[in-house]
Amino acid sequence: MLAFRTGVLAFAVSALACGDAHHKRGQDHAHGHVHSVKREYPQFPLTPPYRPLVWGDFNVIHTTDTHGWLLGHQKATWPEPDYSGDLGDFASFVTHMKQIAIEKDVDLLVVDTGDLHDGTGLSDGFPAGGVDGHETNKFLAQLPFDLMTVGNHELYEYADAYDTYKNLVPHFNGRYLASNVNITVLDLDGKNVSVPMGDRFAKFSTMKGRKVTSLGVIFDFTGNALNTTVQFASDMVKEQWFAEAIADEPDLFLLVGHMPVSDDYWPDVFNVIRAVHPHTPILIFGGHSHIRDCQQYDGRSMALESGRYMETVGANLTNAKDNSNDIAFDRRYLDQNRVTYEYHTGRGNFTFDTLGGRFITSGLHELEKKYDLDYLYGTAPQDYFLTGASYPSNNSLLSLFIAEAAPVALAINNSRSSIPNIMITNSGSQRFDLFKGPFSKNDQLVTSPFEDAFLYIPDLKFSVANKVLPALNKAGAAERRRKRDVFERDLWRNDDEEIRAIFNAWVREMNERAGMEKRGNEAGNLTLGYVTKDSCPGAGDDTMHISIPSYDIPDFIGSNAPNVTDDTPIDLVFVDFIEEQLLGILNGLQSEKKYADSDVKPYSDVVSNQILGLYAQQKWN
């Protein structure tokens, strides 16, 4: 086994959560277009890293859960500017890092662990007949990824899975790994055959001659589309091909997979490999739960997860000797912006951009125009936060959506608009913060992406209807989160809400850990951002921040109750996503009538992802 010092630069690119360098946008008209331009300088005074990277003999740059955020975060509200780098900036960064690796005579690999779409208009704003991520995947394919693996968002729709299999997988020449995922396709004889979506494993030698064995594993996912198959990791490791793949000892195992590094299924894979190779270094790069996280399953392994939405650049730096009992890993989480990139590559603003990076940025802006993503609905007068503000409150996105926007938008061309009502939806219908300034087509797709229809039950007594929302929240979202029929698109909503719960708990924990006193003392010197505490030794964050505010939010939210008497008949309006659970709750609150699907009627032609745009057109101009 070759001795080596391992430096893992885990670069997490995710898509929905904070920050982005602000692209200048025109605000001189209400209905029209507002064009983004590539900035030459950061638009805000971004805080640089406070220490250089410590290169090892073996280094890895890691991206995960990009979810279409390839133009980075483009809003002015902190911490958005911290995550303002775009994919072109990242491409330039990787190019410079590859050159530095050559100069240092060390290895540097670039890997990605899935979920490439479902997040922004770039991946999801395609015209009718398109496929999620088809165009954005072309830009990702221009980067020098050494390994990529499949995420659950590549598997909810067969069209997405097939497009990945047909157009993205071949680009990687055996390095797109899908160890436990199959897809059914037609063979040369026109017969259906189930084949691996990518390669089961890869064995290769690095530039420095290190022998690497890699696998790409997704978590025990059950929401995949018909004609795709996901094998549980505990069953995969019993396969003969797996035993053969790990039989020979490499210099290290490099495992990539779309599953969290804490409280998930990595031990199912790790323990089998470790039983065969007790001392071989094992590096693991995970994803899916959208957090910054690090675990060491033993003294000669490291498992890193690098955030979400093109926000985080994680870095792990390691010193290792083949005769040592333990390996000292030191990881880093970098904010994803040009200041970070220039600091770690030793480049200035005029020397940082590569030709390839500029082409990628330019191409992404052309795609933005092609999809009409800069169409302007109106100008938001303030910031509205999903979990960064208490609910209900004046700066809560949830309050804005259900108490202000939904009553306005759903009254348009609606013959029942004069009848008092209560409107209810699930808080998971909203995905991301809404920021002060231009509110575009892309912002609507990012903030409120789901196409839920609005239904209603007429003539309910107000005294009964007014009890439904509290009862729903008391019951919780357990029933709504149960496994649904695999053919339903809504299935990924359930999974996403579980991930949202994990992410929100993580942010809330760091906020509670920081404490109000520390927040007040440091607010003058530090900007908002992640303040990470994981299970690995040493400090992880590359740039110091104060933690992001975080508040608990209910599972279900409702409009303001009308000023009527208890016996007044009103409309109970709700999204179809919660119909089954709401009917159960309603039937438990009263015994005068047993309500069923036949009592539910369509309320409006407006669906939930149109609400904010329609409201902005009426109120924000």
CATH of the domain at 276: 3.60.21.10
Tens digit of each residue's pLDDT (9 = 90 or more) over 419-463: 999 999 999 999 999 999 999 999 999 999 999 999 999 999 999
Residue 325 lies in a domain: yes
My answer on whether 259 and 322 are in the same domain is yes
Residue 284 and residue 301 in contact, taking contact as beta carbons nearer than 8 Å: yes
My answer on whether 85 and 195 are in the same domain is yes
Residue 214 lies in a domain: yes
Residues of the chain whose pLDDT is less than 50?
10-31, 33-40, 323, 477-492, 517
- How far apart CA 584 and CA 471 sit, in angstroms, is 10
Q: Which of 321, 337, 370 is the last residue of a domain?
A: 370
What is the DSSP pairing of strand 328-335 with strand 32-33? unpaired
Nearest Cα neighbor of 204 from 151, 245, 149, 259 is: 245
* Residue 486, pLDDT score: 33
The kind and range of the H/E element at 377 are strand 375-380
DSSP 9-58: E-----SSSS--PPPP---S-SSEE------SS-SS-PPPPSS-----SE
Contacts of 98 (CB under 8 A, 6+ apart): 108, 144
Residue 41 lies in a domain: no
What is the DSSP pairing of strand 282-285 with strand 252-258? parallel
My answer on whether 127 and 260 are in the same domain is yes
3-state SS string for 213-245: EEEEEECCCCCCCCCEEECCHHHHCCCHHHHHH
| Ramachandran class of 578: left when φ > 0, alpha when ψ lies in -120 to 50, beta otherwise | alpha
Query: In terms of C-beta density within 10 A (0-12 exposed, 13-18 middle, 19 or more buried), how is residue 182 classed?
Result: middle
My answer on whether 392 and 316 are in the same domain is no
Percent of the chain beyond pLDDT 70?
86
Residue 363 lies in a domain: yes
Residue 42 lies in a domain: no
* Residue 496, pLDDT score: 76
My answer on whether 145 and 170 are in the same domain is yes
Look at the chain and report how many structural domains it folds into: 2
- How far apart CA 2 and CA 5 sit, in angstroms, is 10
My answer on whether 319 and 441 are in the same domain is no
* Full residue range of the structural domain in which residue 347 is found: 6-24+54-370
Nearest Cα neighbor of 276 from 242, 235, 304, 302 is: 242
My answer on whether 355 and 406 are in the same domain is no
- How far apart CA 603 and CA 416 sit, in angstroms, is 8
Residue 78 and residue 13 in contact, taking contact as beta carbons nearer than 8 Å: no
Q: Looking at residue 396, what DSSP letter applies?
A: B
Residue 593 lies in a domain: yes
* Residue 13, pLDDT score: 42
Length, in residues, of the chain: 621
Q: Give the Å distances, CA to CA, from 288 to 14, 82, 179, 291.
A: 10, 21, 17, 8
CA 482 to chain CA centroid, nearest Å: 21
DSSP 114-165: S--SSSSHHHH-PPTT--TTHHHHHHHTTS--SEEE--GGGTSSHHHHHHII
My answer on whether 366 and 379 are in the same domain is no
Whichever domain contains 435, its CATH number is 3.90.780.10
Residue 70 and residue 402 in contact, taking contact as beta carbons nearer than 8 Å: no
* Residue 36, pLDDT score: 42
Residue 195 lies in a domain: yes
- Residue 547 has which token pair? 């933690």
Side-chain half-sphere CA neighbours of 275 within 13 A:
8
- How far apart CA 236 and CA 241 sit, in angstroms, is 9
- Positions of E strands within 233-369: 252-258, 282-285, 292-295, 301-306, 312-319, 328-335
My answer on whether 334 and 445 are in the same domain is no
Residue 439 and residue 612 in contact, taking contact as beta carbons nearer than 8 Å: yes
- Residue 219 has which token pair? 């978590």
First vs last C-alpha separation in the chain: 67
3-state SS string for 520-567: HHHCCCCCEECCCCCCCCCCCECCCCEECCCCCCCCEEECCCCCCCCC
Nearest Cα neighbor of 381 from 5, 11, 16, 30 is: 30
My answer on whether 163 and 299 are in the same domain is yes
Q: Give the Å distances, CA to CA, from 71 to 41, 77, 115.
A: 15, 16, 16
Alpha-carbon dihedral sign for residues 264, 268, 269, 275 = positive
Query: In terms of C-beta density within 10 A (0-12 exposed, 13-18 middle, 19 or more buried), how is residue 591 classed?
Result: exposed
Tens digit of each residue's pLDDT (9 = 90 or more) over 356-395: 999 999 999 999 999 999 999 999 999 999 999 999 999 9
Nearest Cα neighbor of 123 from 152, 160, 170 is: 160
My answer on whether 399 and 266 are in the same domain is no
Nearest Cα neighbor of 335 from 6, 7, 550, 78 is: 78
* Residue 483, pLDDT score: 36
SS3 366: helix
Residue 392: is the preceding peptide bond cis (ω within 30°)?
Answer: yes
Looking at the DSSP bridge assignments, the partners of residue 184 are 194
Q: Which of 370, 391, 412 is the last residue of a domain?
A: 370
Contacts of 520 (CB under 8 A, 6+ apart): none
Q: Which of 304, 336, 370 is the last residue of a domain?
A: 370
Contacts of 190 (CB under 8 A, 6+ apart): none
My answer on whether 14 and 134 are in the same domain is yes
Residue 79: is the preceding peptide bond cis (ω within 30°)?
Answer: yes
Residue 440 lies in a domain: yes
